[in-house]
């Protein structure tokens, strides 16, 4: 079963899939029984709780299989921000000697603000700046990491410019110094192949709404044997690590969406790269003066460009009037019109930086839509 085409809903072109994705219809159908009929609390001992409890376990196993983990290494959360905060704060709470945390300067704000919080409690944090192409190199991490490092947290793929980090090498360096390694994989899970065992992560954050699942649900992978403090006090849910009645419907929908995305990943990646090429080729032929941000190894369909002399905020609103949804950067910062910390960190020249926009295509976009977005953008810039 396919999703309802957005054009049938409200006659728009949605090209901001890095901000959120449309809920997959198959995921929604999987959720419905647990919203309507099988609404029992999975923590209860009576028979009416058996189906929700079984659904939770099956969803945990599906999610684990999609990232190469064991089912008891998956802990359900409310989404990526909670998972990130748990990884950072939960690690710090068990760090009695206040050893250092290392992260990158262009992480999602969920990581950066959690790091600011532990700094105020006396836990030192070091920030690594990316290259101009948006990579945290093994060489840079090697210059900063020491045997006093407790945790290294580097995102798998940047949410604004899409660069995929050399994460396996970074993880190895952290482990050589006795540090744990966490990755914010919110933008990457369901879009690029991930095997936590092969890559060596100790923790990984994910959020369902980034891969056509429901909003308000995510997970934190915690490798067996990794020491981390529990995050929410209360009941004994999630093996006493994260209290709160389980969102069974959301969890089931997340598992269904992730499995579907992983199963069709090769096909989707090829289609998204074609959409990206269609858009950029048309823009290039127009003579528009722009910089494409991010290196060669990027998330498929993620196009972040900085246009000389343009105003990204103006472009967003003008495209919105034409029924086209894009972003000026991270959606979590949509109220802040200044140049994003990601664009600043990769040193985009000032004359281009203010004209930064992000177009992120998804599985439902077409070549015709990619061309329409390009033509609309060209028209706005030329008038």
Instruction: Burial-class residue 368 by CB neighbours within 10 Å (0-12, 13-18, 19+).
Output: exposed
Task: Pick the closest to residue 160 from 321, 364, 312 (CA basis).
Answer: 312
Integer CA distances (angstroms), 63 to 154, 170, 189, 225, in order: 22, 24, 10, 19
Tokens of 136: 């945290």
CA dihedral over 9, 13, 19, 20, signed as positive or negative: positive
Contact 237, 247 (CB under 8 A): no
What's the order of all strands across the beta sheet hosting 74-77?
Answer: 74-77, 218-222, 203-207, 180-184, 149-153, 100-104, 125-128
Return d(Cα 205, Cα 185) in angstroms, integer. Answer: 5
Which candidate in 66, 171, 325, 332 is catalytic? 332
Q: Please confirm, yes or no, whether 332 is among the known catalytic residues.
A: yes
Neighbours of 44 (CB within 10 A): 13
Report the catalytic residues: 332
């Amino acid at each position: 079963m396919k999703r309802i085409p957005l054009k049938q809903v409200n006659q728009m072109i949605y090209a901001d899939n890095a901000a959120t994705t449309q809920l997959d219809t198959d995921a929604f159908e999987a959720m419905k029984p647990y919203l309507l009929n099988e609404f029992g609390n999975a923590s209860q001992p009576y028979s009416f709780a058996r189906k929700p409890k079984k659904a939770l376990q099956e969803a945990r196993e599906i999610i684990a299989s999609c990232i190469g983990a064991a089912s008891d290494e998956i802990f359900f959360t409310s989404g990526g921000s909670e998972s990130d905060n748990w990884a950072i704060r939960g690690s710090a709470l068990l760090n009695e000697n206040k050893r250092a945390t290392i992260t990158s300067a262009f992480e999602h704000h969920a990581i950066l603000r959690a790091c600011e919080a532990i700094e105020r409690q006396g836990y030192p944090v070091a920030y690594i700046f990316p290259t101009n192409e948006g990579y945290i190199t093994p060489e840079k991490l090697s210059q900063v990491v020491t045997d006093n490092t407790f945790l290294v947290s580097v995102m798998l793929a940047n949410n604004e410019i899409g660069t995929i980090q050399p994460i396996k090498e970074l993880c190895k360096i952290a482990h050589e110094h006795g540090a744990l390694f966490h990755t914010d994989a919110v933008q990457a899970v369901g879009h690029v192949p991930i095997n936590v065992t092969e890559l060596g992560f100790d923790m990984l954050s994910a959020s369902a709404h980034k891969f056509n699942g429901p909003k308000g649900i995510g997970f934190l992978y915690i490798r067996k044997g990794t020491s981390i403090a529990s995050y929410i006090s209360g009941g004994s849910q999630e093996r006493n690590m994260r209290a709160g009645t389980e969102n069974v419907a959301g969890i089931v929908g997340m598992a269904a969406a992730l499995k579907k995305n992983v199963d069709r990943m090769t096909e989707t990646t090829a289609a998204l790269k074609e959409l990206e090429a269609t858009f950029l080729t048309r823009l290039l032929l127009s003579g528009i003066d722009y910089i494409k941000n991010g290196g060669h190894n990027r998330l498929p369909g993620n196009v972040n460009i900085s246009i000389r002399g343009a105003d990204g905020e103006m472009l967003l609103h003008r495209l919105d009037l034409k029924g086209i949804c894009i972003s000026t950067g991270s959606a979590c910062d949509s109220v802040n019109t200044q140049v994003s910390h990601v664009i600043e960190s990769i040193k985009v020249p000032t004359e281009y930086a203010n004209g930064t926009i992000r177009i992120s295509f998804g599985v439902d976009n077409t070549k015709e839509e990619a061309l329409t977005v390009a033509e609309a953008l060209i028209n706005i810039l030329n008038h």
